Amino acid sequence: MSSFTDLGVPTELAAVLADLGITSPFPIQAATLPDSLAGRDVLGRGRTGSGKTYAFVLPVVARLAASRNPRRPGRPRALILAPTRELASQIDATLAPLATAMGLRTLTVFGGVGPNPQIKGLKAGVDILVACPGRLADHLQSGYASLDAIEITVLDEADHMADLGFLPVVRRLMDATPRDGQRMLFSATLDGGVDVLVKRFMHKPVTHHVDAAAEAPVEMAHHVLHVRHDDRFPVLVDLVAAPGRTVVFTRTKRRAKTLTRQLVAAGVPAVELHGNLAQNARNRNLSAFSDGSAATLVATDIAARGIHVDDVALVIHADPPVEHKAYLHRSGRTARAGAQGTVITLMTDDQQGDVRDLTRKAGIKPTTTRTRPGDALLARLAPGERTFSAPGPAAPADDERPATGGAHAGRSRRGRGASRPAGAGHDRAATATGGGRGQSGGQAQATRSGQPARAGQSARGAQGGTRGGQAGTRGAQPARGQGGQSRGRRTGGTGSTPVHTSQSGGAAAFSAGSRVGRHGR
């Protein structure tokens, strides 16, 4: 197997990677790096979690360091465009140690936060700009930035930018860059609007198809749990109370908010991620999920693309998505970078036809099982002892009634974007107890062992796994590498009362809410 230096990566950058526990290139990196480091236009297709970020940040840093052109105010030398704020931030986090090693300066630009720090950063001069299209276009229009000195342009998740309607502004931004600059485009699919970008802006691109976009990773196990409406919530609680990080997907913002509160009320520290949250709340919640203080993230499709958190063991489609592409991208939050993962879809009687069509188009053959709370299958799918924190308050009565859609479907009584990281209950259930699930220091929790029904009782030990060559638990995160997985067993003390999942209104609200709308990031 080739090393990074064999592919042409400078030794300084290979040393940085080695310090991060990254020593072997993934297929898309091995395929594209020789061409991208040589300055060719590159078109890379690979499914989510395939290692695309390093495939483009390494040549960007290496080539800028080699060119030694001066850094000038308001005129970045490289541009990386991403469809979401979270993805832009994660790209910058991956990029930062490499850029620092080569003396390059980076800056992120996106909406939802004040523009002044970004303007100040642009005026100070920046080598690599990681940006979302809308806010960058605003800075260009206001005269705070120019793209006429761009040497390398990268479009990441280009198909998602097309899905979000960003193509017109992306074309304007690309038109503002020099035509003779290097361009790289990475995408899970290369159809429709993405093909238009390729034909218009890329010069004889070298195309690399590392894996089929329509295929789910072989490391990913797919299950459909056929449940009654009233059983959906207790089944979900049983699954997410197991050790390991879990991402739960809903179709609407309101559903994400309501379900988060219900999980917290059931003793499962959870945070929400959706488009109604202010940027600082989104950052705070994603950080809580990343550092283990909340091991469950309830999200809309805003988290289905580009969000990477180490060691997500389980993805649950609480609401089956409408499109098969969304299913694959949601599912791609687990089984990343060679790790193993499990994907579960909760399906009721009225959803059988839709789920059957969805999985067929996605190219998967899930194992379908009729399931009730307490079924031993739940313990097999999400092994380990179920642990609960002290419960928070139950979800407000307003959220427990079926939503009717319309102009206010995505709002709670506190108003749009006013949600706290996980509601008042999260402060009690997680923060006050020492960080929620997965934390090992002084946290008062109760275990389910020995209790009948409602939760799968298997006490299988912590599953093995390493990341970056180190073993780790969720309480003490391992060094980040490119692959592997760890699912630490949660530890709990004494002093809190076991929480029963049959919360008043919980299951009814969960079932009714699933019929709200079709989208709502």
DSSP string, 3-50: -TTTTT--HHHHHHHHHTT--S--HHHHHHHHHHHTT--EEEE--TTS
Q: For the residues 338-353, what does the mean pLDDT come to?
A: 86
Q: For the residues 8-25, what does the mean pLDDT come to?
A: 93
- DSSP 8-state assignment for residue 103: T
Across 423-444, b (16+ Cβ under 10 Å) vs e yields: bebbebbbbebbbbbbbbeebe
Pick the more confident residue, 325 or 84.
84
Give, rounded to a whole angstrom, the gap between the first and last alpha carbons of the chain. Answer: 41
* 283 three-state secondary structure: helix
Report pLDDT for 391.
62
Question: Which residue type sits at 352?
Answer: Q
Q: Are 258 and 395 in contact (CB under 8 A)?
A: yes
Pick the more confident residue, 394 or 139.
139
Q: Are 315 and 287 in contact (CB under 8 A)?
A: no
pLDDT, tens only, 134-143: 999 999 999 9
Strand partners, 247: 297, 315
Q: What is the CA radius of gyration of the chain?
A: 23
Q: What domains are there in the chain, each with its CATH number?
A: 11-209 (3.40.50.300), 220-406+415-486+506-513 (3.40.50.300)
Q: Which of 45-49, 256-260, 294-298 has the lowest mean pLDDT?
A: 45-49
Asked if pLDDT for residue 502 goes beyond 70, the answer is no
pLDDT, tens only, 154-213: 999 888 888 778 889 999 999 999 999 999 998 877 766 788 888 889 999 998 876 544
Structure tokens at 119: 């303007």
Q: How confident is the model at residue 9 (pLDDT cuts 50, 70, 90)?
A: very high
Q: For the residues 453-462, what does the mean pLDDT come to?
A: 35
* Residue of 195, 199, 197, 185 whose CA lies nearest to 155: 185
Q: How confident is the model at residue 443 (pLDDT cuts 50, 70, 90)?
A: very low
Report pLDDT for 187.
82
pLDDT, tens only, 397-433: 333 333 333 333 333 333 333 333 333 333 333 333 3
Report pLDDT for 416.
32
Q: How confident is the model at residue 52 (pLDDT cuts 50, 70, 90)?
A: confident
CA–CA distance, 364 with 358 (Å, rounded to integer)? 9
For helices 324-331 and 352-362, give the axis angle rounded to 10 degrees. Answer: 70
Q: Which of 273-282, 336-345, 387-396 has the lowest mean pLDDT?
A: 387-396
Report pLDDT for 327.
84
Report pLDDT for 518.
36
Which of 165-169, 369-373, 479-483 has the largest mean confidence?
Answer: 369-373
CA–CA distance, 478 with 18 (Å, rounded to integer)? 15
Q: Are 437 and 292 in contact (CB under 8 A)?
A: yes
Report pLDDT for 135.
94
CA–CA distance, 231 with 234 (Å, rounded to integer)? 6
Name the average pLDDT for the chain.
Answer: 75
Q: How confident is the model at residue 356 (pLDDT cuts 50, 70, 90)?
A: very high
pLDDT, tens only, 94-136: 999 999 999 999 999 998 889 999 999 999 999 999 999 999 9
Q: How confident is the model at residue 456 (pLDDT cuts 50, 70, 90)?
A: very low
Asked if pLDDT for residue 438 goes beyond 90, the answer is no
Report pLDDT for 487.
38
Contacts of 468 (CB under 8 A, 6+ apart): 20, 21, 22, 478, 479, 480, 481, 482, 484
Asked if pLDDT for residue 497 goes beyond 80, the answer is no
Q: Please give the backbone phi and psi of residue 324, each rounded to the nearest 5 degrees, phi first.
A: -70, -30
CA–CA distance, 348 with 369 (Å, rounded to integer)? 11
Q: For the residues 53-59, what does the mean pLDDT come to?
A: 94
Q: How confident is the model at residue 255 (pLDDT cuts 50, 70, 90)?
A: very high
* Residue of 374, 356, 369 whose CA lies nearest to 225: 369
DSSP string, 106-124: EEEE-SSS-SHHHHHHHHH
Report pLDDT for 304.
62
Q: For the residues 485-492, what does the mean pLDDT come to?
A: 36
Report pLDDT for 261.
94
Asked if pLDDT for residue 512 goes beyond 70, the answer is no
Residue position matching structure tokens 């790289």:
184
- DSSP 8-state assignment for residue 480: P
DSSP string, 332-391: TTSS-TT--EEEEEEE-GGGHHHHHHHHHHHT---EEEE--TT-HHHHHHS-S--EEPPP
CA–CA distance, 373 with 454 (Å, rounded to integer)? 5
CA angle, 133 then 136 then 142, to 5°: 140
Q: Which of 95-104, 352-361, 474-483 has the lowest mean pLDDT?
A: 474-483
Q: How confident is the model at residue 32 (pLDDT cuts 50, 70, 90)?
A: very high
Residue position matching structure tokens 């940040």:
57
Asked if pLDDT for residue 466 goes beyond 90, the answer is no
Q: Are 399 and 510 in contact (CB under 8 A)?
A: no
Contacts of 86 (CB under 8 A, 6+ apart): 282, 286, 302, 303, 306, 307
Asked if pLDDT for residue 454 goes beyond 60, the answer is no
Q: How confident is the model at residue 277 (pLDDT cuts 50, 70, 90)?
A: confident
Q: For the residues 36-54, what does the mean pLDDT come to?
A: 83
Report pLDDT for 406.
33
